[in-house]
Amino acid sequence: MGRVKTPEPVLLFAGIIGREEKLLKLEDILSPLGMLEDRSEILSFDEFSRYYEKEMGPNLKRLWISFQGVRSPENLHMVKVISNRIEEEHAEKGLRTINIDPGYVSLSNVILFTTKNYYHRIYIGSGIYSEVTLYYNNPVGFTPLPWTYPDYKSKVALEFFNSQRKKLYMLRKRREII
């Protein structure tokens, strides 16, 4: 019989898509979610998709950021509810100017929170679903799945998430977290 255990701490991240001027103000925009710690390189989102162009305009940028400290994954999906409110607060004429997709990095996977259901997503409460977007494959590192978004398969994304995993691993190794 398995025993119920407290889940291991994780690192909160957010994938951001928006106009460049919004990305320059991320500390202010995302302050309700915590202090920013690391950032990926900024990419052109247009090379992956034009999905948000009608709503947010052309020449959108994409990056990933992480927040300071570790968190329990329990109820962390509520960050998606907060990020939706932030998107609404920054909307212009009812249209989003920034897209914020939070999730977390554990030692074994990258979890993304979403409001959209699909066959590979699991409902976790408050209108939020989760999906395993990347899984850890030693010694390769984080590895995409068939449904992983193209931008999450990019070299920049994989480098970012592998660096976050390494940080989490080192925190555990130094026993700064259990």
Ranges of each domain in the chain: 11-171
pLDDT above 70 coverage of the chain, percent: 98
**Residue 132 φ then ψ, to 5°:** -80, 115
Query: Chain-wide mean pLDDT for the chain?
Result: 95
pLDDT single digits (tens) 80-101:
999 999 999 999 999 999 999 9
pLDDT at 174: 84
pLDDT above 60 (res 178): no
The Cα 1–Cα 3 span in angstroms is 7
Region for 52 from its dihedrals, namely left if φ exceeds 0, alpha if ψ lies in -120 to 50, beta otherwise: alpha
pLDDT at 177: 67
Q: pTM of the entire structure?
A: 0.95
Judge contact between 111 and 117, C-beta under 8 A.
no
pLDDT at 85: 97
The Cα 147–Cα 123 span in angstroms is 17
pLDDT single digits (tens) 96-150:
999 999 999 999 999 999 999 999 999 999 999 999 999 999 999 999 999 999 9
pLDDT above 70 (res 27): yes
